[in-house]
Amino acid sequence: MALQDMERDMAGCSRCSSCKWIPHNQVKSWRFAQGCPSSTRYSFHAYSGSGKMIMGLSMLQSRSELNDDVAGIIYNCQLCGSCQVSCQVYRDDIDLSDVLLELRAKCVEDGFLILEHMEMLQSMKKEDNPLGMLKADRGRWAEGLGLPEIGGRQVEVLFHAGCRYSYDEDLRGTVRGTVSLLRDAGIDIGVAGKDEACCGGRAYELGYQGEMRNFADDMAGRVKASGARTLVTACSDCYYTFMYLYPKNGLDLGVEVLHITELVGRMIEEGRIEPAGEVPMRVTYHDPCHLGRRGESYKEGWSGGDKLLRPVRFKQSGRLGVFDPPRDIIRALPGIELVEMERIREYSWCCGAGGGVLEAFPEFASWTAGDRLEEAAATGAEALVTACPWCVRVFRDAVTERGMEMKIYDVMELLASSLGGA
Amino acid sequence: MITDAAYRELQETLGAENVSREPAVLDGYTWQPFTDILGLPDSWCRYRPAAVVLPGSTEEVQEVVRICGRHGLQFKAMSTGWGAWNAMGGENTVQIDLKRMNRILEIDEKNMYAVVEPCAVCSQLQAEAMKKGLNCHIIGAGCGSSPLASATSLCGYGWSGLTTSYSARNVLGVEWVLPDGEVLRIGTPGQDAGWFNGDGPGPSLRGAMRGFMGACGGLGVFTRCAVKLFPWPGPEEPQVEGLLNDVTAEVPDTHAMFLIAFPDLQRWADAAYSVADAEIGYMMCKNAIGALVATMMPRGLKELTRFAVFKDILKTLRYQFQFLVCARTPREFAYQKAVLREIVEECEGICLDVSKLPGLHDAFWWGFVRAAMPPLIFRMGGTFGTSYGALEGFDHPAYQSQEGARLKSQYTETGRLMDDLADNSWGGIYEGSTGFGHQEELYVYDPRDSAQLEAAEDYLAGTLVDTAAKKLGPGLGFAGGAIVAEIFGPLIGDYHEWLRKIKGAFDPDNVSDPAFYVSPDPEKLIAEEMANRPGMAQSLLSVMGEEDTP
Ligand code: SF4
Ligand code: SF4
């Protein structure tokens, strides 16, 4: 796949601007109607999903050239997928998110690189994580838990913590609590320890598409070595990589992939986990983009050229992402009250961290998070709960920056607290 | 081209981050749907803006306009900027993108109006208005469009037109940055008397400001305006799940959707007149069966239209309306339904209660009230165009529907345009018992297919010729640019000459791009049209009786 393979998609844009908004049928107020952080923040049409496609077409047809400014617009985007959802409400023949990925690949191919992203890549190549941390420290988050590691005995479930949860000391408690409660509930769970590595999805999203394959092969190797039949991750970015990017690129891990909220939600339903402790809180839930709309599994099987003829079942509409399991977990906690924001599920507003924005354009990431925090505050919630370490990170930092009262939790933290673990 | 000096001035005025002349960014304003009206080979409009600017206030708009004037540049303002009529008319034009001016400044519940900036869109305004038991007019472009642009600068009806009429009837007080940079407040804001009236106390210039069709960016920039709000007999915060065709909603017991169909066009039009006289219904609109099927199951329609028998079956429903009753009380609900049934019976039609069709009713109810459906028309072919659509006494639109179907079937039957049953007229009756309304003939094609685009252009030229030859009235072909005023003007009281006088009085230096309004220099315009799109120009000139004029 390359940018030129998406020419019909780009040329199909009718410039209706639906991609700037949440689907209009769901607009409930003036304040929270916008869907695209990039276009809302920077206003020129070029920043919207449509604008980026038009720029792509313009370059492809040699009407304009890629340069640092244009690359800057392409990368000031969280790849959150809101534009794709809103576009596909109306269109069957445009895969906007794929165009955005190919635009980045073109930037890399043509040498228009973002310094911070190069550093991430460097770190991924050298230390198997994009955070500039040491590979040797990867497994430290699980120290003392006594979990089986691959290379030792075979396990039923392999837990993939992901880079952010592995290294962010502020957040580590979440995954420690999570694997502990799974083990206590009788799940035969293991980890890759210091051998765990990045899933590689971040490299693909930054435009270094070829780099993902090595990480994917390693991932497949670890899964195989663990003997697991199920791969579970607590990171929504990794989940998206496993569910969408790998299969899109012909990579098959050969196991069931679950987000932690899917596994735990299932266990609560089966009565294998019974939250008993009161969590007396009014909370709202933020759908991570890469777990929600972008977490929808890749729909294989369509190879026709004219997407006007493509049956609807092959569309990545975003509606089949993971939306209910985290909410089910929250609702299972005694004493908690869940209130919804206006922009939820597949038309959720992004946290701001994705697509390399947190690293390269932190002010934009924080602005985006701030908009979401205002929406959360408007519900009267005292806490915003989510299910992704990147979201937790950017929200916590934005709360601190703004001196807000809002508490930020991963849903697994609340569950652990109900179970008496935290 | 914009000089460095002019560009620098714009940057100094607005901040560098709000000005761009990056070609790829400018192309975001060059690419538009509906370029068939311009006779172009693809969706790239003829001219790229010289620069694009993002003013954040009326004062900044004034400054931009003055800078353009000083540097010999034209300007063209846009709100949501959807459609080829947003295109630049020449090389040296600055695109004023009003996206940063997006607030709803006031909703006056008691006097039933809202004051909006250019880039607040209808879905936002409707959501806020409904919280106060009110609703707004939404033009046929749908709820992603700007109520200010509709009210001040364009002409259109919408699904709820039976209740909310059309663009021109919805504008009240207006704040207007004139082409020389002065601010003019017309209607009550001109006397600091609030925004509730477009005529007075204060200068009454609505006619000059927008005329019938709107100046489409050719007469300055509208930075604020008040639009009417109407009673909304429904929930203040509608409970809606789903995104479009999958919508489920809590529809009030006193709301219901009907499909009413008639044996022929005459009885269809008679029913519309009777409904308007009886003053019942919230919405009455013809969404042609072909269009409905095309948007719900586009691939299905492509299959069905291969079989004459299916086409015939679908066409039995061609003379129909979707009719929405939104009543406040059960008694009013029963009354409206009874009157509707009586009218349908009198006109020998059938009345299907869609509220009995689970799955569809909610989606139709909210889809039509919110007016979220329009971009669905892109689904079948990639794009569409529209034609005819003069606003007239309703017998006349009925006749236009016939004309549209006749002409278009020559294209659909030969596969040059997509087969939408050649019955894609859309519109309805409004203005109550005056019986005023319109019907547009939509046509569907894939703009990525040059043969289809060419057929669309050919068809559109044909409709203009047909309209002029048969004196069908100024239809939506107005979007084809200033040349259209030159064609239809002589047929309709020389209105183009009046427009030219208004343009001359308000914009003697022609700073505000008049490409879709009226040209101060018709001879130059005709010469340009001849050079740019000779085929279409020849057809149009033949109507004007000037075939030999080069
Ligand atoms: S919603 Fe889709 S078709 Fe409409 S402007 Fe955006 S990208 Fe283009
Ligand atoms: S992916 Fe998100 S930020 Fe990027 S253009 Fe689409 S909606 Fe905007």
Cβ separation A44–B381 shorter than 8 A: no
Sequence-distant (6+) residues with CB within 8 A of B550 are B527, B530
B466, B483, B536 from B480: Cα distances, Å: 15, 7, 11
Return the minimum-mean-pLDDT range out of A149-163, B59-73, B428-442, B531-545. Answer: B531-545
CA B180 to chain centre: 28
Query: Which of A26, A28, A64 lies at the smallest CB-CB distance from B243?
Result: A26
Taking CB atoms and an 8 Å cutoff, what residues of chain A touch B25?
44-46, 51, 55, 70, 73
Q: What is the CATH number of the domain that holds A31?
A: 1.10.1060
Q: Distance, CA A162 to ligand 2 centroid (Å)?
A: 24
Residues of A in contact with B47 (CB under 8 A): none
- Ligand 1 pocket residues where CB is under 6 Å: A 13-19, 49-50, 53, 86-87, 91, 94, 96
pLDDT digits (tens, 9 = 90+) for A274-330: 999 999 999 999 999 999 999 999 998 788 778 888 888 999 999 999 999 999 999
Do the chains contact at A33 and B237, CB–CB below 8 Å? no
Q: What is the mean pLDDT of residues A232-244?
A: 98
Domain boundary among A205, A237, A269: A269
Q: What pLDDT does A348 receive?
A: 98
* Same-domain check for residues A145 and A98: no
Q: CA Rg, chain A, in Å?
A: 21
Indicate whether A155 and A205 sit together in one domain.
Answer: yes
Q: Average the pLDDT over B442-448 and give the result.
A: 90
What per-residue confidence (pLDDT) applies to B479? Answer: 64
A18 chain-B contacts, CB cut-off 8 A? 144, 375
| Predicted pLDDT of residue B474 | 74
The residues pairing with B77 across neighbouring beta strands, listed in sequence order, are B96
Q: Whose CA is nearest to atom 4 of ligand 1?
A: A16
Distance from the B407 Cα atom to the nearest Cα atom in chain A, whole angstroms: 25
Q: Is B367 on the interface with A (CB under 8 A)?
A: yes
The mean pLDDT of B329-344, rounded to a whole number, is 98
Residue A39's domain comprises 1-113
Atom of ligand 1 nearest to the CA of A96: 7
Q: Which of A3, A10, A15 to mutate to test the interface with B (most CBs of B within 10 A)?
A: A15
pLDDT at B428 over 50: yes
Whether residues A142 and A255 share a domain: the answer is yes
Residue A24 is nearest to which of B20, B44, B143, comparing CB atoms?
A: B143
Could you tell me which residue, B404 or B544, shows the higher pLDDT?
Answer: B404
Per-residue pLDDT of A31-45, as tens digits, reads 999 999 999 999 999
CA count, 13 A, side-chain hemisphere, A21? 29
Q: What is the rounded distance in angstroms from the CA atom of residue A58 to the CA atom of residue A67?
A: 13
Please state, in angstroms and rounded to a whole number, the distance separating the CA atoms of residues B535 and B550: 13
Total structural domains in chain A?
Answer: 2
Q: Is residue A202 part of a domain?
A: yes
d(CA A318, CA A316): 5
CATH number at residue A156: 3.40.50.1860
Asked whether residue A184 falls in the same domain as residue A82, the answer is no
CB pairs under 8 A between A and B: 159
* Cβ partners under 8 Å of residue B519, min gap 6: B482, B483, B485, B486, B500, B525
Rounded to the nearest integer, the mean pLDDT of chain B is: 91
Yes or no, beta carbons of B103 and A30 under 8 Å apart: yes
Is the minimum CB–CB distance between B103 and chain A shorter than 8 Å? yes
Closest chain B residue to the Cα of A59, Cα to Cα: B24
Is B421 an interface residue toward A (CB < 8 Å)?
A: no
Q: Are residues A131 and A263 located together in one domain of the fold?
A: yes
- Residue B461 scores a pLDDT above 90: no
Confidence of residue B310 (pLDDT cuts 50, 70, 90): confident
Task: Please check the confidence at residue B394 and state whether its pLDDT lies above 70.
Answer: yes
What was the pLDDT predicted at A247?
97
Q: Is B501 on the interface with A (CB under 8 A)?
A: no
Query: Which range has the worst mean pLDDT, A50-54, A265-269, B204-208, B490-494?
Result: B490-494
| d(CA B334, ligand 2 centre) in Å | 48
Inside any domain, residue A167: yes
Residues B227, B222: Cα–Cα separation, whole Å? 13
Task: Please name the residues in contact with A192: beta carbons below 8 A apart, sequence gap of 6 or more.
Answer: A139, A149, A150, A158, A160, A222, A226
Neighbours of A50 (CB within 10 A): 27
CB atoms within 10 A of CB A210: 11
Q: Which residues of A touch B379 (CB under 8 A)?
A: 90-92
Partner A, chain B 244-283, Cβ-Cβ below 8 Å = 244, 247
Window 318-337 of A, Cβ < 8 Å to B: 319
Task: Find, among A10, A48, A84, the residue nearest to B80 by Cα.
Answer: A48
Q: Structure tokens of B23?
A: 């070609």
> Looking at the domain assignment, is residue A247 inside a domain?
yes
* Chain B residues close to A66, C-beta within 8 Å: 24
Our CA-based measurement puts residue A265 at a distance from the nearest CA of chain B, in whole angstroms, of: 23
Which of A31, A44, A348 should one mutate to test binding to chain B, selecting the residue with the greatest count of B CBs within 10 A? A44
pLDDT confidence tier of residue B251, bands split at 50, 70 and 90 = very high
The mean pLDDT of chain A is 96
% of chain A with per-residue pLDDT over 90:
94
pLDDT of residue B356: 77
Same domain, A138 and A265: yes
Cβ-nearest to B123 among A27, A66, A67: A27
Are both A27 and A140 inside the same structural domain? no
Write down the pTM of the prediction.
Answer: 0.96
* Same domain flag for A194 and A98: no
3-state secondary structure A368-385: HHHHHHHHHHHCCCCEEE
Please name which ligand lies nearest the alpha carbon of A50.
1
In a domain, A191, yes or no: yes
Span B76-121, pLDDT tens digits: 999 999 999 999 999 999 999 999 999 999 999 999 999 999 999 9
B151, pLDDT greater than 90: yes
Asked if the structure places residue A162 within a domain, the reply is yes
**Domain termination residue (choose one: A113, A143, A164):** A113
Amino acid at A406: M
Beta strand A336-338 with B93-97 is unpaired
More confident residue, B78 or B487: B78
Share of chain B above pLDDT 70, in %: 97
Tens of pLDDT, residues B491-540: 888 989 999 999 999 999 999 999 999 999 999 998 888 888 777 777 76
Quote the pLDDT of residue A15.
96
pLDDT above 90 covers what percent of chain B? 66
Mean pLDDT of A90-96: 94
Atom of ligand 2 nearest to the CA of A19: 7
Can you list the alpha helix ranges (DSSP code H) found in B105-246? 122-130, 147-153, 161-164, 206-210
- To the nearest whole Å, the CA of B531 is away from the closest chain A CA by 22
Q: Which residues have CB under 6 Å of ligand 2?
A: A 35-39, 48-49, 52, 77-83, 100
- B477 at interface of A, judged by CB pairs closer than 8 A: no
Q: How far is the CA of B19 from the centre of ligand 1 (A)?
A: 23
- Facing residue for A44 by CB, picked from B20, B44, B299: B20
Chain B residues 3-62 with CB within 8 Å of chain A: 17-18, 20, 22-29, 31-33, 42-44, 52, 54
Residues A198-209 have a mean pLDDT of: 98
Tell me how many degrees the CA angle A161-A163-A166 measures, rounded to the nearest 5: 60
> Are the Cβ atoms of A46 and B80 closer than 8 angstroms?
no
Stated length of chain B: 550
Letter for the amino acid at A89?
V
Residue B291 has pLDDT above 80, yes or no: no
* Domains along chain B with CATH numbers: 4-97 (3.30.43.10), 104-231 (3.30.465.10), 249-470 (3.40.462.10), 483-546 (no CATH)
Say if A363 is an interface residue toward chain B (CB within 8 Å). Answer: no
Beta bridge partners of B183: B177
In a domain, A293, yes or no: no
* 0.85 surpassed by complex ipTM: yes
Q: Which of residues 371-390 of A touch B (CB under 8 A)?
A: none
A264 with A139, same domain: the answer is: yes
CA–CA separation, A287 and A391 (whole Å): 9
A 29-58 → B contacts, CB under 8 A: 29-30, 33, 42-46, 50-51, 54-55, 57-58
Residue in B with minimal Cα distance to A18? B144
Residues of chain A found within 8 Å of residue B378, distances taken between Cβ atoms? 14, 16, 90-91
Q: Name the residue of A17, A21, A34, A38 to mutate for ligand 2: max ligand atoms within 8 A of Cβ.
A: A38
pLDDT at B292: 79
Q: Is the pLDDT of residue A373 over 90?
A: yes
Q: Are residues A98 and A137 in the same domain?
A: no
Determine the residue among A45, A66, A314 to mutate to test chain B binding: the one whose Cβ has the most chain B Cβ atoms within 10 Å: A45
User: What is the pLDDT confidence band of residue B433, given thresholds at 50, 70 and 90?
Assistant: confident
Indicate whether A30 belongs to any domain.
yes
- A247, A269, A291 - which closes a domain: A269
User: Do residue A153 and residue A257 come from a single domain?
Assistant: yes
pLDDT higher than 70, residue B544 = no
Most confident of A254-258, A303-307, B36-40: A254-258
* Residues A104 and A197 placed together within one structural domain of the fold: no
**B371 CA distance to ligand 2 middle (Å):** 24
Instruction: Supply B522's token pair.
Output: 């018709």
